[in-house]
């Protein structure tokens, strides 16, 4: 019988009544290629690529050997060449691959059997690509084992099938060749090993030794890591997903007074209440974004010692699952202390600079002050001399009247000198500030009422608008009242005693705003930036020193506020005092 005469019906039998399938005289089963692929993956993942190759090659060898023995019992083949050609035919019947024989040599004197060909649609190459991707070496192990087992029986001599090309490594086709085992040189030792019996006990023992070695290496590595972490001065810790401490280094245990055997403690328990909520929000954000985060909080030890720290947290992931957090707490107490000292030093420098600026201003404008004082003193001297001449030896009625008038002028000019001197001293000296929580609404009403009762305000229309339910302001009521009266006086002088003045008081965000406005001529654009400069004035030389607004500006700054000015759209000027509300930080409106 020739190989091509063999049909599937000759080797395959179905008996549904008994639940049997016979193939080549032995019971067989229909198995999906994916199931064999799953077995391959399990072997590779569990035992490694080399061991899996040996197992699958020997499995294929056994299948080929048994099929050849069955065919041999049937007999009727004209030659060994016809016998061996049945193997590829059976492979195709089993759905393993389509086999194309390209070379077959029977032995002559001094030669051996040889065979070569290609496999097409190899189930093994397809499954390996699907499960592992491209391979570095040929992977049709069961096919090579089958060809080796069948040909060894057919030729009655040990044969080895070598796959030189494989679709699984992106070769155009799976190409193979059969060679006599006796002719295999050292270069084929790796192929020879695949047909040798596998000592699984030895393999398992080797695996156990590798696991033990790696476990020991891991213990050493963990010990080094823990020693390193424990000897760092910073607080290093790890948390479980619920935020409880599962590891804390030596520095952390010492600083926080935590017993190593004290069990798990929620990190939030080691913080004041207001910081616990911030920690919970941070853990929630890290859990959502899988990104590290940091906050500045206070850690409170079990002995109630507070430690200011910057807390740095990052997630611990197992794939896509959050398994905990690792953290670092850096003590920022010394940094904060240095920052406070620097802030105090900067405040001191600012005060000294302000005082130096005042003194420099006094030096620059000393000639102006001398001129201002010399004018009234000159008048005093002239009138005094004139009075002496007028009196003579026997003053009459006219001389007495003139004497009274001269004395009034002397008195007025003396008062003016006193006022000039007082303003200069107020500007040059640091004013004592006594802050207290004040009802600023009542203060403003009182000062406006006092101003409107004066003769200089008789021709003014003064409007007062105080917002209801004003929050308290921490200020110096005496100094603030002085500023308000000065602003009202300036408004009255700008109006020449005739016009409207508006006084408004209302909160604005975290500030209290006091504004004095008028409908006078306003401020010229070229002087707005100069109105708070020392000795700057638009009045006549004998009407003012130019220190009033400069003094007001310094007072408001000492109260933690700001004094600004501008022009109303409808005409006139406005001056605005902005003060911080009680509990708010200093800043400008």
Instruction: Find, among 189, 118, 191, 107, the residue nearest to 148 by Cα.
Output: 191
Return d(Cα 327, Cα 268) in angstroms, integer: 13
Query: Does residue 441 carry a pLDDT above 60?
Result: yes
Residue 246: inside a domain:
yes
| Separation of alpha carbons 358 and 352, rounded Å | 10
585 — pLDDT class (breaks 50, 70, 90):
very low
Looking at the structure, tell me whether residues 51 and 181 fall in a common domain.
yes
Domain membership of residue 23 (yes or no) is yes
- Name the pairing type of β-strands 499-508 and 460-466: parallel
Same-domain status, 532 and 575: yes
pLDDT score of 494: 87
Question: What's the rounded Cα separation, in Å, for the pair 138 and 265?
Answer: 57
Please write the tens of the pLDDT for every residue from 454-475.
Answer: 756 678 899 999 999 898 889 8
Q: Is pLDDT above 70 for 542?
A: no
How big is the CA angle at 228 (ends 226 and 231), to the nearest 5 degrees? 105
Residues 449, 509 within the same domain: yes
Rounded Cα gap, residues 434 and 478, in angstroms: 9
Q: What is the spatial distance between Cα 380 and Cα 411, in angstroms, rounded to a whole number?
A: 9
Task: Supply the pLDDT for residue 549.
Answer: 84
Residue 97 in tokens: 């691959």
Q: Which residues of 466-505 are buried (b: 16+ CB within 10 A; e: fewer)?
A: beeebeebbbbbebbbbbbbbbbebbbbbbeeebebbbbb
- Whether the pLDDT of residue 345 is over 50: the answer is yes
pLDDT band at 141 (very low <50, low <70, confident <90, very high): very high
What pLDDT score was predicted for residue 6?
67
Last residue within a domain, chosen from 428, 453, 481: 428
Question: Residues 337-352: what's their mean pLDDT?
Answer: 80
Which pair of tokens denotes residue 546?
Answer: 């130019």
Residues whose CB falls within 8 Å of the CB of residue 111, separated by 6 or more in sequence, listed in order: 105
Q: Which of 412, 428, 444 is the last residue of a domain?
A: 428
Q: How many CB atoms lie within 10 A of CB 212?
A: 10
Same structural domain, 149 and 65: yes
Per-residue pLDDT tens digits for 400-429: 777 767 777 776 666 667 666 655 655 555
Q: Domain containing 379 — which CATH number?
A: 1.10.287.130
Long-range contacts of 414-417 (CB under 8 A, 24+ apart): 414/376, 414/380, 416/376, 416/542, 417/373, 417/376, 417/377
- Whole-angstrom Cα distance, residue 589 to residue 576? 10
Regarding whether 55 and 122 lie in a shared domain, the answer is yes
- Average predicted confidence (pLDDT) for the chain: 80
Least confident of 338-342, 538-542, 569-573: 538-542
d(C-alpha 97, C-alpha 144), whole Å: 12
**Domain ranges, residue 395:** 365-428
Question: What are 313's strand-pairing partners?
Answer: 293, 327
Residue entry with tokens 């193997």 = 87
CATH number of the domain bearing residue 276: 3.30.450.20
How are beta strands 235-239 and 245-248 bridged, if at all? antiparallel
User: Measured between alpha carbons, how far is residue 342 from residues 298, 416, 561 in Å?
Assistant: 22, 44, 22
341 falls within a domain: no
Residue 214 belongs to a domain: no
The strand ranges marked E within 487-572 are 499-508, 511-518, 562-567
Same domain, 386 and 313: no
Mean pLDDT for the stretch of residues 117-123 = 94
Which residue would you say has higher pLDDT here, 340 or 25? 340
Least confident of 16-25, 45-54, 188-197, 496-505: 188-197
CATH number of the domain encompassing residue 441: 3.30.565.10
**Which stretch of 208-212, 340-344, 512-516, 529-533 has the lowest confidence by average pLDDT?**
208-212
For 239, the token pair is 């948390």
CATH code, domain carrying 45: 3.30.1380.20
The pLDDT of residue 426 is 56
251-283 pLDDT, tens digit per residue, is 888 888 888 765 678 888 889 988 898 899 999
- Single pTM value for the model: 0.38
Tokens 């405040």 belong to 347
Has residue 209 been placed in a domain?
no
Degrees (nearest 5) of the Cα angle 425, 428, 431? 85
Confidence of residue 488 (pLDDT cuts 50, 70, 90): very high
Q: Which tokens belong to 100?
A: 């194309």
The model's pLDDT over 366-380, given as tens digits with 9 standing for 90+, comes to: 555 655 666 677 677
Does 421 lie in the same domain as 448?
A: no
Question: What DSSP letter does each residue of 82-97 carry, written as one string?
Answer: HHHHHHHHHHHHTTS-
Where is pLDDT greater, at 64 or 78?
A: 64
Are residues 484 and 447 part of one domain? yes
**E strand or H helix at 299:** strand 293-300
What are all long-range contacts of 118-123, with beta carbons under 8 Å and residues at least 24 apart?
A: 118/173, 118/174, 118/175, 118/176, 119/143, 119/173, 119/174, 119/176, 120/173, 120/174, 121/97, 122/96, 122/97, 122/167, 122/174, 123/33, 123/36, 123/95, 123/96, 123/97
pLDDT at 32 over 70: yes
Whether residues 126 and 89 fall in one domain:
yes
DSSP output for 88-132: HHHHHHTTS-EEEEEEEE---TT---EEEEEEES-HHHHHHHHHH
Does residue 355 lie in a domain region? no
Instruction: Decide which of 147, 175, 198 is a domain's last residue.
Output: 198
Same domain assignment for residues 485 and 540:
yes
Residue 226 lies in a domain: no
Who wins on pLDDT, 97 or 394? 97
The whole-number average pLDDT for the span 90-100 is 86
DSSP secondary structure letter of residue 495: T
Tell me which residue of 190, 183, 163, 12 sits closest to 92, measured CA to CA: 12
Q: Is residue 572 part of a domain?
A: yes
Residues 150 and 272 in one domain: no
pLDDT band at 390 (very low <50, low <70, confident <90, very high): low
Q: Are residues 151 and 50 in the same domain?
A: yes
Name the domain count of the chain: 4
Q: Is the distance from CB of 422 to CB of 441 less than 8 angstroms?
A: no
More confident call, 65 vs 357:
65
């Amino acid at each position: 019988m020739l190989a091509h005469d063999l049909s599937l019906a000759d080797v395959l039998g179905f008996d549904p009544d008994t639940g049997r399938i016979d193939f080549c005289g032995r019971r067989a089963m229909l198995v999906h290629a994916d199931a064999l692929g799953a077995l391959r993956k399990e072997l590779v993942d569990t035992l490694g690529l080399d061991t899996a190759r040996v197992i699958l090659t020997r499995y294929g060898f056994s299948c080929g050997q048994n099929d050849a023995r069955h065919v041999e019992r049937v007999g009727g083949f004209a030659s060994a060449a016809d016998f061996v050609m049945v193997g590829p035919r059976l492979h195709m019947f089993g759905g393993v691959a389509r086999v194309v024989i390209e070379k077959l040599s029977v032995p002559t004197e001094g030669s051996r059997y040889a065979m070569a060909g290609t496999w097409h649609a190899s189930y093994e190459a397809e499954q390996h690509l699907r499960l592992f991707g491209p391979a570095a070496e040929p992977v049709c192990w069961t096919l090579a084992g089958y060809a080796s087992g069948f040909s060894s029986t057919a030729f009655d001599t040990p044969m080895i099938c070598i796959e030189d090309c494989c679709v699984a490594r992106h070769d155009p086709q799976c190409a193979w060749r059969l060679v006599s085992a006796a002719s295999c040189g050292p270069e084929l030792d790796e192929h020879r090993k695949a047909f040798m019996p596998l000592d699984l006990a030895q393999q398992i023992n080797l695996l156990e030794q590798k696991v033990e070695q790696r476990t020991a290496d891991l213990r050493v590595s963990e010990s080094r890591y823990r020693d390193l972490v424990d000897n760092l001065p910073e607080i290093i810790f790890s948390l479980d997903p619920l935020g409880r401490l599962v590891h804390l280094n030596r520095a952390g245990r010492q600083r926080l007074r935590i017993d190593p055997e004290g069990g798990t403690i929620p990190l939030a328990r080691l913080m004041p209440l207001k910081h616990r909520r911030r920690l919970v929000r941070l853990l929630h954000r890290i859990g959502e974004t899988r990104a590290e985060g940091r906050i500045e909080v206070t850690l409170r030890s079990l002995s109630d010692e507070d430690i200011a720290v910057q807390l740095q947290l990052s997630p611990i992931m197992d794939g896509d699952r959050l398994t905990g957090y690792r953290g670092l707490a850096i003590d920022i107490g010394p940094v904060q202390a240095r920052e406070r000292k620097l802030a105090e030093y900067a405040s001191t420098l600012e005060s000294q600079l302000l005082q130096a600026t005042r003194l420099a201003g006094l030096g620059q404008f000393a000639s102006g002050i001398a001129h201002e004082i010399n004018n009234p003193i000159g008048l005093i001297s002239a009138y005094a001399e004139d009075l002496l001449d007028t009196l003579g030896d026997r003053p009459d009625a006219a001389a007495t009247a003139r004497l009274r008038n001269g004395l009034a002028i002397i008195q007025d000019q003396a008062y003016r000198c006193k006022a000039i001197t007082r303003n200069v001293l107020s500007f040059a000296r640091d004013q004592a500030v006594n802050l207290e929580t004040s009802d600023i609404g009542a203060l403003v009403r009182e000062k406006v009422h006092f101003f409107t009762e004066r003769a200089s305000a008789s021709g003014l229309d003064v409007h007062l608008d105080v917002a209801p339910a004003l929050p308290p302001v921490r200020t110096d009521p005496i100094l603030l009242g002085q500023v308000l009266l000065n602003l009202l006086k300036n408004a009255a002088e700008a109006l020449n005693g005739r016009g409207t003045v508006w006084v408004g008081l209302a909160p604005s965000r975290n500030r209290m705003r006091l504004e004095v406005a008028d409908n006078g001529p306003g401020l010229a654009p070229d002087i707005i930036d100069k109105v708070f400069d020392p000795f700057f004035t638009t009045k006549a030389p004998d009407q003012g020193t130019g220190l009033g607004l400069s003094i007001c500006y310094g007072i408001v700054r000492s109260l933690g506020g700001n004094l600004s000015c501008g022009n109303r759209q409808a005409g006139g000027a406005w001056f605005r005092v902005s003060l911080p509300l009680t509990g708010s930080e200093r800043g400008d409106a």
